[in-house]
Amino acid sequence: MNFQYYKTLMDKSKETLFALIEEIVPNILEPELALFLEEVSLKKLKQENKSPLDDSFIEINFQNENDADISNLKKDQLKKIYEIFISKEKNDKNAIKWRFFKFLKTQKDIPIRSVHVRADTKKDDFIDYILETKDNQYIFTNCNYILDKEYYFNAGEKLAKFSKEIEQIPNKVIFSTYKTYRDIPIDDKFVIRGKDIEQELWVEWNELEKPFNGEDLLIILVNNEKEMEVAGFNFSSIQNLLDYIYKYSNGGQIAIYKQQGFFSESYDGKSQIELIWKGIMLKNKFK
């Protein structure tokens, strides 16, 4: 069960929304919030963080950015954050774009040096992110509600055009989408200026068999000491949760407990705490 849609919440007060949004992990970053809400501060951000690859992109380095202050947000701004990151009831291009950004902050498969984010989200803009890796590779990313054959077959021409505009050939292209058809020929490589380009398809999904839901409190013990408490709505699968723990803990003996329905409006403070995962997490100390 995911968290309730905004329209079904009994308590839609600003205070309740703020309390839930404070539970989002990792924390929302300052430039992320400015881009997401299209704030007045975005103009300053475009000047100071302008990407050297393209003027319409903002460069963000996760290690160098401060957490955003959400204490002064208006109720409609909190509502927007709730609908995209907590209830996940919004699934348009913009929603997929920002949930993908949230995922990038915890994933460990791509050695990211910096993320170049398109400042505006428009339906006709094909590339939403340029991921610059520590081994000097570039990954172009397209975010969309649904990936069908027609959209995919038109992608090659759009990729070639964008690559020419920024004078950079990608090493890989990621299609991040909410839905897709089974017959997308993702293994057929695009060719840009004589170079074969690898493609990946990332479909947003929820693990039906995951041992927790959005309204549960997840309690993580590391070496028998409580290290963190996080809300279930932050994670779409147990693997997603384990990736987060891997990144934000020092590893060791890990135990994950859930307190069922902790964030639900009917919670009476009496739910049992149940062990849902236990194991040893070894972190690679070698560079």
**pLDDT confidence of 286, banded at 50, 70, 90?**
very low
**Alpha helix ranges (H) inside the chain:** 14-21, 30-37, 42-48, 75-81, 93-104, 149-166, 238-248
pLDDT of amino acid 285 = 56
pLDDT (tens digit per residue) in 161-196? 999 999 999 999 999 999 998 889 998 889 999 999
pLDDT (tens digit per residue) in 82-118? 999 999 999 999 999 999 999 999 998 999 999 999 9
65 pLDDT higher than 70: yes
**pLDDT confidence of 160, banded at 50, 70, 90?**
very high
pLDDT of amino acid 40 = 59
Per-residue pLDDT, averaged over 207-225, amounts to 91
Name the residue ranges covered by the structural domains of the chain: 1-28+70-90, 48-68+91-203, 217-281
Distance, in Å, from the CA atom of 88 to the CA atom of 90, rounded to the nearest integer, reads 5
Neighbours of 115 (CB within 10 A): 24
Per-residue pLDDT, averaged over 264-274, amounts to 82
Distance, in Å, from the CA atom of 162 to the CA atom of 160, rounded to the nearest integer, reads 6
**pLDDT confidence of 248, banded at 50, 70, 90?**
very high
Is pTM beyond 0.85? Reply is: yes
pLDDT of amino acid 113 = 97
pLDDT of amino acid 287 = 42
pLDDT of amino acid 267 = 79
Distance, in Å, from the CA atom of 282 to the CA atom of 167, rounded to the nearest integer, reads 41
Kindly state the percentage of the chain with pLDDT values over 90. 78
